[in-house]
Amino acid sequence: MADNKRDYYEVLGVQKGVSDDELKKAYRAMVKKYHPDLHPDDKEAEEKMKEVNEAYDVLSDKEKRAKYDQFGFAGIDPSYGAGQGGGFGGFSSGGFSGDFGDIGDIFESFFGGGFGGQSRSNPNAPRRGQDIKTSVQISFLEACKDTGVDVRVNRYERCPDCSGTGARAGTSAETCPSCRGSGTVRVTQRTPLGVFQTTKTCDRCGGTGKVINSPCPTCSGQGRIRKVFSKNVKIPAGIDDGQTLRVTGEGDCGINGGPNGDLIIRVSVRPDEVFEREGFDVYTEVPISYLQAALGDEITIPTIDGNIKYRIPAGTQNGDTFHLRGQGIPKLNRNTRGDHHATIRVVVPKNLTKKQQDLLRAFNDSLDDRNSPEKKKFSDWFK
Ligand SMILES: [Zn+2]
Ligand SMILES: [Zn+2]
């Protein structure tokens, strides 16, 4: 029976001593070539598929392979012999999917457009550098005007000694001799079933098509180095807590001549003890004495531009708010500003002496309804 049977290694187009991975690869290549779904009525393909399955069945089994290596076809179970009714049974059964985990994977390569094709992206294509994220903190008042902030980050920069080529000064990267610069190599397998060609990534150059025989010592052949980069970045007036700025082109340098990434700065604004912000409006509380409130006075209101004088009328009440138009926070990239709202807090005197208490009582006795209309309304309702 051995007379008309082909050597199993020959059938799969591999050498004796082939690794499990290579064997699997070779088998997959054959499956792609002879799968019955691709050749519905092709008797010859069916026969070849059968032959391939049989060869793989033996060679992928350590024990069977060892026997086959030693004794040839005589060393293995005769039921593996071709034309003995093995048919296609073994192909679509568990043996197949078991070996490859997921049968869908195989079918995807048949019908998903990946059949025989190479979808590997070009490793020499220009790639944009990574964006770098960092954060800065500024005070409330700094956020109200244009501010310069020193930003320090670690980033990749083009190696100055080799200009990014990765090759030692005076040398250059050379075309990979294994793949002649294509980054892929063709593996040709000549078998009695025909000549098979598969393509794989070139081991020598890792698919770049270039080899650096004498790497640049500064960057170890990487073409870029990590460096501390610092820059004074202008933060525009009006920025709010949590907003980000993008400084174009100041991220990691690009690869293969691609553009640089960006530097992205998240700005956090420290809260202030005096000022509060809502949108572009600023809120403050202004404590005044009950005398100032009763008689009116020129008071001092703190704003983001500094303290300003403001006249409040006699009879100002606790909680009254005065609005200063256009004295709030500058609106980003616009020429207008929000408002400032100053809320009056009347401070009630504490720790009065006996004499002060008597004066206050005497004063209070002098009050009538005209002095506090709201109170009158309230007592009228109470009656
Ligand atoms: Zn190569
Ligand atoms: Zn270098």
CATH code for the domain in which residue 103 is found: 1.10.287.110
The ligand that comes nearest to the alpha carbon of residue 160 is: 2
C-alpha of 78 from chain center:
58
**Residue 116: strand, helix, or coil:** coil
Asked whether residue 280 falls in the same domain as residue 264, the answer is: no
Ligand 2 mean position, distance from CA 215 (Å): 8
149 and 136 Cβ atoms separated by less than 8 Å: yes
**Could you give the CA distance from residue 250 to residue 259 in angstroms, rounded to a whole number?**
10
pLDDT for 121 equals: 65
Q: Which domain holds residue 87?
A: 2-111
Q: Looking at the 3D structure of the chain, how many domains does it have? A: 4
The ligand that comes nearest to the alpha carbon of residue 182 is: 1
- Taking CA atoms, 349 is separated from 267, 312, 345, 355, 356, in Å, by 42, 20, 13, 14, 10
Does residue 284 lie in a domain region?
yes
- Residue 235: exposed, middle, or buried by beta-carbon count in 10 A (0-12, 13-18, 19+)? buried
Asked whether residue 227 falls in the same domain as residue 151, the answer is: yes
Asked whether residue 161 falls in the same domain as residue 257, the answer is: yes
Asked whether residue 9 falls in the same domain as residue 33, the answer is: yes
pLDDT for 256 equals: 83
Ligand 2 mean position, distance from CA 145 (Å): 42
**Could you give the CA distance from residue 47 to residue 49 in angstroms, rounded to a whole number?**
5
Ligand 2 mean position, distance from CA 122 (Å): 22
Ligand 1 mean position, distance from CA 371 (Å): 97
The predicted-structure confidence for 120-155, as pLDDT tens digits, reads as follows: 567 778 889 999 999 999 999 999 999 999 999 999
Does residue 116 lie in a domain region?
no
**Could you give the CA distance from residue 213 to residue 165 in angstroms, rounded to a whole number?**
12
The ligand that comes nearest to the alpha carbon of residue 167 is: 2
Ligand 2 mean position, distance from CA 136 (Å): 32
Whether the predicted pLDDT of 337 surpasses 90: yes
Asked whether residue 71 falls in the same domain as residue 107, the answer is: yes
The pTM of the full predicted model, rounded to 2 decimals, is: 0.58
The ligand that comes nearest to the alpha carbon of residue 123 is: 1
Asked whether residue 239 falls in the same domain as residue 317, the answer is: no
Mean pLDDT of the chain: 83
